[in-house]
Chains A and B, each alone.
Chain A
């Protein structure tokens, strides 16, 4: 069964600190993995995309890693800001369908305190 598991479920950190969010998946055949940021009451917005051959991808203070052998990904946030408070969702796409089916994790709810 294709699944995406994220940890931790929630996380509270102080402004300026770093944090790392985890994602494990069983989706096969794998196409790509995205991290989305979802602000409260808004739709998800893509932060990074990684394909099978990529190990790391950065977008400003966000750095994603991918280990396709162990089917694990992480999202590292550096020097957190209050605006980073949001849900971070790991989304894996399979390449076995023309639809481009996406499998969503439940997200990690990050809260950044001043």
Chain B
């Protein structure tokens, strides 16, 4: 099993709250990713990072922001959550030696009321 962790696993919050979803990996991977996944739908890339101090927006527009201060840590923040942010958020990591295999965390199921 991959050494990539996400907390919390489940989060129910009210509209307007600021939240941070945590993602950590102990594999020393340079590249990290955040995906958004709705039930029955494909994963959509919302953010990625090539390494420390590198962050880029993905294919799907998102109001969230990310930071990469340490190699192992890639948190995602929503300044003001809305019901439209309700979704599953998956974090992943990879490096050059894994032939683009991305190792996924267990995900955070976010519900905004």
Q: Which residues of A contact B (CB under 8 A)?
A: 4, 9, 31-32, 34, 41-46, 49, 89, 93, 98-102, 104-107, 109
Contact = CB atoms under 8 A, between A and B. Distances in A.
Interface of B: 1-2, 4, 9, 31, 40-43, 45, 48, 50, 90-92, 94, 99-102, 104-107, 109
Contacts of A44: 43, 90, 104
Nearest to B4: A43
B101 A34 contact: yes
Contacts of A89: 42-43
Contact of A43 (B42, B94, B104): B104
Contacts, number: 53
A87 to B, nearest CB: 9
A26 to B, nearest CB: 14
A32 B100 CA distance: 9
B100 A106 contact: no
Contact of B94 (A32, A41, A45, A100): A100
A43 B106 contact: yes
Contact of A106 (B4, B41, B90): B41
Q: Which 10 A-B residue pairs are closest in the complex by CB-CB distance?
A: A43-B104, A100-B100, A104-B42, A104-B43, A93-B100, A106-B42, A44-B104, A43-B105, A43-B106, A42-B106
B101 A46 contact: yes
B107 A41 contact: yes
Contact of B99 (A49, A99, A104): A49
A68 B88 CA distance: 32
Contacts of B45: 101-102
Specify which of B9, B99, B109 lies most central, judged by the most chain A CB atoms within 10 Å of its CB: B99
B100 A43 contact: no
B66 to A, nearest CB: 15
